[in-house]
Amino acid sequence: MHEFSIVNALLEMCEKNAKEHNATKITKVEIKIGKLSGVEPYLLQTAFDTFKEETICAEAEFIVHLQEIVIHCENCHNEVTLTHNEFVCPTCNSTDLRVIDGEEMYLMHLEME
């Protein structure tokens, strides 16, 4: 499970941001995970809850936003959010697509005290 290593890196990033802003604790961690990122939100939540103990995030609320897959059709230049993992443009049926959102994971927001 690579979710554990992701949470470890996330906690390190939180610690670094807290030090830069002279914060003593983090109360909220908000992330965005793309459906194509390969990260399982439930496993990430479990890993965060397990490893946050005895860190600056010990009392933090963990919020995950799941990002749908957004594609750009190179044929008709339409941008569409896919409802299924069918990589075909719903406008022109082209398969000449570029994914423009839904592959990454981002730290969106931290609340600190």
pLDDT of residue 81: 94
pLDDT in tens, 11-46: 999 999 999 999 999 999 999 999 999 999 999 999
The burial class, CB within 10 Å (0-12 / 13-18 / 19+), for 19 is: exposed
| Structural domains of the chain, with CATH | 2-112 (3.30.2320.80)
Q: What does the alpha-carbon distance between residue 76 and residue 97 come to, in Å, rounded to a whole number?
A: 10
**SS3 at position 74:** coil
**How much is the average pLDDT of 6-13?**
94
76 is in an annotated binding site: yes
Residue 45 tokens read as 């939540």
Bridge partners, residue 72, by sequence: 79, 98
pLDDT in tens, 46-92: 999 999 999 999 999 999 999 999 999 999 999 999 988 889 999 99
pLDDT of residue 1: 53
pLDDT of residue 83: 83
pLDDT of residue 95: 95
Q: Indicate the pTM of the whole model.
A: 0.83
Q: What does the alpha-carbon distance between residue 111 and residue 69 come to, in Å, rounded to a whole number?
A: 27
73 is in an annotated binding site: yes
